[in-house]
Chains A and B, each alone.
Chain A
């Protein structure tokens, strides 16, 4: 059953990834990318990385795609069809993709995956929260507060750039 779901999700990811790069309407490419990202989140849920899946959905599917769609809508060439790609570009990009596929496939197949007997790290949201807020040994409270400073810097930077006349 789990294998079946895995193949269904894989098929969704593959189909929409190909559609993302082959469609001639740019706004549709963004929406196909959204489907790819959501299907990736489904993978994380399958592996029970619930927090990672939630981050994938809120930040990538909810945030980044919105930003991409906004960027597209700000341009005035939304309705134009993208140019047909010429055959030289098709062949070279095909070769590059093939090379990448062979490289990654080679690495995966020559690597021997050993089943480990050691305890798998607890990745539940509860445990992440406990570690993130822990100020003792092995706690991440300082990075947690630094994140807010980083976000503050990002916000101020965005406002300064946007408000510059």
Chain B
């Protein structure tokens, strides 16, 4: 653990973000009114709460995303040794992809990727 680098990283982050906020608050002209405080939504007055109920259709996409997310986890270690292991590693990952590709084809055929 290189703590000097970490401290420097945090300091740089604090300075870069903090100076931006500080300078803009010092330099900007301040004239507040109610209209400026409103949330901007295409110029139309906002209506209702922002936490709305979503369409159920999103959920299937979330699950499919999660599965391919887990797949990427297993590609990380493969990618680091790909060059070293050569053709064998390539064929192994190809089998891995083909099996998962079947899942994608299945989803496609079953219209799971279609928006309803």
Contact residues of A with B, CB < 8 Å?
1-2, 5, 27, 46, 48, 51, 54-55, 58-59, 62-64, 66-67, 70-71, 73-76, 78-79, 125-126, 128-130, 132-133, 135, 141, 144-145, 147-149, 151-152, 154-156, 158-159, 162-163
Q: How far is B107's CA from A152's CA once the two chains are assembled, in angstroms?
A: 10
Number of A-B contacts (CB under 8 A): 137
Contact residues of B with A, CB < 8 Å?
1, 3, 6, 49, 51-54, 56, 58-60, 62-67, 69-74, 76-81, 84-85, 88-89, 92-93, 95-97, 99-100, 102-103, 106-107, 110-112
Secondary structure type dominating chain A contacts: helix
Given contacts A54-B73, A156-B106, contact A78 B51 (CB under 8 A): yes
A144:B63 contact, CB within 8 angstroms: no
Q: How far is B107's CA from A137's CA once the two chains are assembled, in angstroms?
A: 37
Q: How far is B100's CA from A162's CA once the two chains are assembled, in angstroms?
A: 19
Given contacts A70-B58, A133-B88, A159-B60, contact A125 B80 (CB under 8 A): yes
Of the candidates B52, B64, B77, which one forms a contact with A129 in the assembled complex, judged by CB atoms under 8 Å apart? Answer: B77
B60:A158 contact, CB within 8 angstroms: yes
A152:B100 contact, CB within 8 angstroms: yes
- What are 12 A-to-B residue pairs whose CB atoms are below 8 Å? A1-B3, A67-B63, A70-B62, A74-B54, A74-B56, A125-B80, A128-B77, A129-B76, A129-B81, A130-B85, A133-B78, A159-B106
Find the A residue at minimum CB distance from B73: A55
A132:B110 contact, CB within 8 angstroms: no
